[in-house]
Every structure is written in structure tokens, then in C-alpha cells.
Amino acid sequence: TNGARSSHRLRHVSSLAAPPPSRLNAVVLGDALASEEHDLVIPKPDFSAQAHFPSPAKYLDLYKQSIEDPAGFWSDIASQFYWKQKWASPVYSENMDVREGRINIEWFKGGITNICYNCLDANIAAGNGEKIAIYWEGNELGADATLTYNQLLHKVCQLANYLKDIGVRKGDAVVIYQPMLMELPIAMLACARIGAVHSVVFAGFSSESLSQRIVDCKPKVVLTCNAVKRGPKVINLKDIVDAALAESAKNGTVVDVCLTYANESALTKESTKWVEGRDIWWQDILSKYPNSCDVEWVDAEDPLFLLYTSGSTGKPKGVLHTTGGYMVYTATTFKYAFDYKPSDVYWCTADCGWITGHSYVTYGPMLNGATVVVFEGAPNYPDSGRCWDIVDKYKVSIFYTAPTLFVTRYSRKSLRVLGSVGEPINPSAWRWFFNVVGDSRCPISDTWWQTETGGFLITPLPGAWPQKPGSATFPFFGVQPVIVDEKGAELEGECSGYLCVKSSWPGAFRTLYGDHERYETTYFSAFPGYYFSGDGCSRDKDGYHWLTGRVDDVINVSGHRIGTAEVESALVSHPQCAEAAVVGVEHEVKGQGIYAFVTLVEGVPYSDDLRKSLIMNVRKQIGAFAAPDKIHWAPGLPKTRSGKIMRRILRKIASRQLDELGDTSTLAEPGVVDQLIALADS
């Protein structure tokens, strides 16, 4: 189960031949608007001519090589990074088959490196020290700042020295609960520099969620900020952290230090609540530390970070990524999927609290020495033109965002490549993004991936492929997507089923923190021999991939993954709630909305106040972004005789597809369906 690979794994590559344009209604980029009758959008020749991958043939060549000889393919790429010591042999080893024992994935083991060194020192050594690393744009118009690669290194080193000084060592966890200040990527890089394992918690999570994560990974220190303004609203982050730390202490995890950045534009130091002996002001202490710091050289398989994500059941999972493979993979996917060139200015609207911000705000771009825009604020503040003002102000050429954020007034001249992530993009939204935002000039990289995958798995390469609106197109190098039926049999040609991946890629996660067994059962047991993504997918006759959304009980709200079980348990913790069932429904803006069926404790009357207080429970326990859009009163829930809730029926009721309820005769009490329908709009 290592190195050598056999040729049978090349089987599906033959289906990747470029589609003959004659069979499809094609339009060349820039020649015309992509309209309904155009199902193929061909890259403009002058774009292709300058692209890393100018043609399908060039992609196919390298793709074949990457599948036939992954060790050789990825070694060549890895050699472009700085390694204190080269990796041992084999380049990788893996077992992704539960029937053959413990799931195990390793890349470049024995190689000694440091990802912070490769992001900063290596780029500075190459002569890019005075290049802008970060354009920071604050919430308020006119609030901005920049950091060159030299300046960024200095800031990272000061924090790294401080962390070492308070006893943070290689392998120790550090929790970061920060808004999108420059200090957030700085904190991530400082941890990486000293071999500490960062765990960024999105600053929209509630104190209870934060505490749950702190108790799970037990950090010595929490890095935070006193408050932040998002749009017109001030959010007091320090209060949330205080509550989380108090709660963690009750559960046996005492955090010694809370390093707090004073964001005085949102809240003064004087008005910030303070715990003497534990809380330290970031600016006061860091200026005392030297701005150079030796790196901690780590093994490629030493952990880099933990990032918690929702599953269909139980508590959040700590997805663990290691150093070497993640480094090589994020850098390479960034470079090719966005056709990145050193002159580009790149803006990804994601928050570093999510995987997109890890791989494609911080690591991927900085490994390439890119200039990155970091935006603190909200895309619609002070008005919906804000994003385009930012694009113009910094001459952004690569713009990467979620379909939810497709708001616009007009196209922007500086743009060259557009990216989309987080949810399936429907063809009409695709055409709109393409025609209006990109002026029918910019290729769109619809990147399919997950927290677990570390980087893009299925993505267009701008300039290489004719695009089909709404399709994420083809696999990245070294990635073998397979579509299987419910029995786990691989489907060939035109097909539709469950999206799995055969064999590992360098950016794959290695375990769930503290629970390798859950890792194996969640991802590798459903279809033995494969990694199961949890997504549905179809492949058309030309080999293009079309993602169709989650097939498990996970809802995707504005590109944020939320487990139905988490929302349900937050609702049920309300004393007047007896039972709850949550499903996703189509939502015009958010992709999916959260729709909750709630059964009350006997005798409790329905009321708007109760509705509000149920929603408040979810905001408190998870965060505002997980608040249900709709509470549907349910005298009872449709269950099978064995007591299993039939979500299929609930989904149909939620989306008002009442003529598609299907067979309800197997329900324990078929009458509940009519009761639910009667209460739909009450």
C-alpha cells in the first residue's frame, strides 16, 4: 500500500478528452455574452496564450503523469520549496482501505521544513522583501494599512518570540479567535514558525462553541482582540472569550494567557473587561520582543493546524492537517487554479476562520509570494458597492468568493480571473458572474473542495478548458475522483452518484484530532477503499463534473457548513422544546437556509416570543450564522415504525413540494403529515 501504482488507476482518464466544440453551442470568452443557449464557454486565445495551462492537451499530459507517477510528480514540485533536509523514501505511503487496517496517509515523511519559512523568509531571500504581502482594508471607508513581506516577517517573529517566552512549544495547541485584522494571518504564521498547532475559531462562533473547541484541544494561550466592527455593529469579542474561558475552566481546561489585540477603533482599552494576571495587551507586550526569530524545523508529517468543522452527527470534528503535503498542495493549487502570476493582486473574501482562509488567504498565496487583500468588514457596508470599490482601489486581478456574495453594480477592469467556492453555483448565477462581474472576459474557477481536503480537488484551470456554466470541470493533478453507486461500485462514463476519491493527495487531512476511529468510520467506511466526500455528483458525457450538494445531514449556509444535529441539539436544549428536526431548503441568497420543525412540550402554546427564544438558543450555542430561517410548529414528526424521522418528507414539506411527498403509508402515524401541512404558514 505505498509508492508503486498500477495502470488500472488510469482507467477514467480516457473519459477526460476535451469535448468536441461542434457538439455544443460554444461561445468564445470576450466575444459575446454567455447566454442560455451557450453551454460551452471557450477561453479567449490571448488569455490561453499567457496561461500556465493553455490547452486541454497540456493539462491531460501532466494529469496522466501525476496519476501514473505521483511520487515523481509531487517530488518535482516539492523540490521547489525550502527543505532543511530532504524527505526519505517512499515519497508517500497510504492505506485508504479500512479492510486493510488502520487508515494512514503520509507525504514527504522525514523531510524537514517550515511553512512559515517558505511563506516569508524564502520569498524575502528571493528578493521580494519589499513586495506588498498584505493590503489590509478596514471596516470603515478610509481605514487601511499595508505590510511588505519584510514587515510581515518582523511582526510574525515578535509574536513567535513572545509565544516561546510564555512556554509554547512545538506541538502545543494555540487557539486564535480573531476578526480579519492583519494580526490573524500573523498569528497563524507565528504558530507555524515555532511548530505550534493553531486552531482558528471563526469569530462568529458563540462562547459555547469556542469553549467546546478550547476544551477539546487544550491550548496554553488564546489569541484574540477586544472588539471588532462589522458593518455598523460593534461585536465585543473579549466578552465572548471571557465567557468561553470561564466555561472551559469549569470543564477542567484552564487557559493561562489571553493575548488581546486592542482594536481601539471598535472599543477602547478602558472599556474592555480585564482579568489581571491572565489578560495581556498584544501591542504593549510584543513591541518588547526582537523582530527576528529562528524557525523550529519540523517533520513534513508534524501537525500544522486543527480546524473544527461540522459533521452530520455529534460534536464538531477537529480536522488535522500536517505540514509538508499541505504546503506543497495549497501552493500548487493556488498557482494553477487561479493562473497566478507575480504581478497579480489577489483577493479572497473568505474569513481565516474557515478552511478557505487558511489555504487561500494565508498559506497558498503567501507560499507564492502573492500580494493579498485582507478585508475586515462586511461586503455590503457602507453599501453594496463596497467589494467593487476594493477591487478598484487595489487593482485586484484575481477575485475569489462565494456565490452568496455575487453582488454587483458593474464590471471591474482590473479583474482577470474569478473564483467561486462553497456551494454549487447554478448556471444562471454562473452566467451572471461571468457576464456582469467579469465582463465576459474572465474565466471562472469553480473550485470544489472541503475542509478535509486541504485544497482544491476539482477545479477548472483558467485558459485550459472550455467551461460549462455550473460545472467544476476536472480533477486537479494527482486527484482521482470517482462516482460510486449506493453499493460502492465505481460508475463509468455519464453517471450520477456519490463523490469519492481514490488514493491520497498531499493536502489530505490525516486524522480527526483525538478520534482516529471517527475519522475512519466517517470518511472511509461508507465505501471501503475510498475517501467519501459526503457530496453528490454527476459526470456528463464529456467528463465534466457537476456537484449536486451534500447527501448527508449537513446544511451549507452561505458556504458555511452546519450539521443538522448541532442545530437540533441547540433547539432541544430549550426547556419548552420536546423534539426538533432540521432540514436545508433552497435559499435565494444563502444557497441553503435552515428550516426547523419543532415539537413543543405538551401544553405549551405556540407564540412568536417562543419562536424568538428558540432561535436565540441556537445563536447562543453555535453562533448567529446558524440561526434557523424558519421555525415550523410540529405537533408530531413523521417517523417510521422504528422511530426514525423521515427527513425526506420533511424536506418536501419545507420546500412546499407537497405533491412529491411520496409514500407516507409506512409512517407510524400518517396523520402527522396533514397536521404539518396545515401548520406550514402559521
- 321 lies in the site for ligand WT7, by CB under 6 A: no
3-class DSSP state of 504: coil
CB of 153: closest distance to ligand WT7 in angstroms? 28
Residues 29-88 that bind ligand WT7 (CB under 6 A): none
* 409 closest CA partner among 382, 441, 387, 431: 387
Place of cell 491520497: 504
> In Å, what is the CA distance from 364 to each residue of 181, 635, 656?
18, 50, 43
CB of 420: closest distance to ligand WT7 in angstroms? 6
CB of 626: closest distance to ligand WT7 in angstroms? 13
x/- mask, ligand WT7, residues 501-540, rule CB under 6 A, reads: --------------------------------xxx-----
Residues 571-630 that bind ligand WT7 (CB under 6 A): none
Closer to ligand WT7 at the Cβ: 193 or 358?
Answer: 358
Residue 320 — left, alpha, or beta (φ > 0 → left; ψ -120 to 50 → alpha)?
beta
CB 410 within 8 A of CB 422: no
* 322 closest CA partner among 452, 140, 485: 452
CB 57 within 8 A of CB 462: no
Closer to ligand WT7 at the Cβ: 179 or 419?
Answer: 419
CB of 459: closest distance to ligand WT7 in angstroms? 8
Closer to ligand WT7 at the Cβ: 426 or 613?
Answer: 426
- 446 lies in the site for ligand WT7, by CB under 6 A: yes
Closer to ligand WT7 at the Cβ: 203 or 355?
Answer: 355
Q: What angle do CA 52, 419, 40 make, to 5 degrees?
A: 75
Could you tell me which stretch among 223-231, 291-299, 416-424, 433-441 binds ligand WT7 (CB under 6 A)?
416-424
Backbone angles phi, psi at 521, to 5 degrees: -75, -35
Helix (H) or strand (E) segment spanning residue 237: helix 237-250
The answer to whether 552 is a known catalytic residue is yes
DSSP letter (8 states) at residue 121: H
Closer to ligand WT7 at the Cβ: 261 or 456?
Answer: 456
CB of 556: closest distance to ligand WT7 in angstroms? 5
Distance CA 626, CA 201 (A): 15
CB of 499: closest distance to ligand WT7 in angstroms? 8
Closer to ligand WT7 at the Cβ: 73 or 532?
Answer: 532
- 361 lies in the site for ligand WT7, by CB under 6 A: no
Q: Which of 66, 356, 362, 564 binds ligand WT7 (CB under 6 A)?
A: 356
One of 294, 552, 609, 629 is an active-site residue; which one? 552
Closer to ligand WT7 at the Cβ: 133 or 361?
Answer: 361
Place of cell 417562543: 610
CB 105 within 8 A of CB 452: no
Q: Which of 92, 177, 449, 498 binds ligand WT7 (CB under 6 A)?
A: 449
Write out 620-644 in H/E/C secondary structure.
Answer: HHCEHHHCCCEEEECCCCCEECCCC
Closer to ligand WT7 at the Cβ: 547 or 582?
Answer: 547
Q: How many residues make contact with ligand WT7 (CB under 6 A)?
A: 23
Q: Cα-atom radius of gyration of the chain, to the nearest Å?
A: 25
3-class DSSP state of 385: coil
Distance CA 21, CA 25 (A): 7
Cell numbers linked to 267: 472599543
CB 617 within 8 A of CB 573: yes
CB of 446: closest distance to ligand WT7 in angstroms? 5
Residues 542-571 that bind ligand WT7 (CB under 6 A): 547, 549-550, 556, 559, 561
CB 646 within 8 A of CB 667: yes
Cell numbers linked to 197: 498547532
Q: Is the peptide bond before 90 cis (omega within 30 degrees of 0)?
A: yes
Tell me the pairing of strands 345-348 and 398-401: parallel
Q: Which of 219, 357, 422, 463 binds ligand WT7 (CB under 6 A)?
A: 422
Closer to ligand WT7 at the Cβ: 158 or 504?
Answer: 504
Q: Which of 450, 521, 538, 664 binds ligand WT7 (CB under 6 A)?
A: 450
x/- mask, ligand WT7, residues 277-316, rule CB under 6 A, reads: --------------------------------x-------
DSSP letter (8 states) at residue 85: B
Write the CB contacts of 594 (distance below 8 Å, at least 6 apart in sequence). 555, 557, 562, 567, 582, 584, 626, 627, 628, 629, 630
Cell numbers linked to 33: 455574452
Q: Which of 301, 423, 553, 566 binds ligand WT7 (CB under 6 A)?
A: 423
Binding site for ligand WT7 (CB under 6 A): 309, 355-356, 421-424, 446-451, 472, 533-535, 547, 549-550, 556, 559, 561
Q: Which residues are catalytic?
A: 552
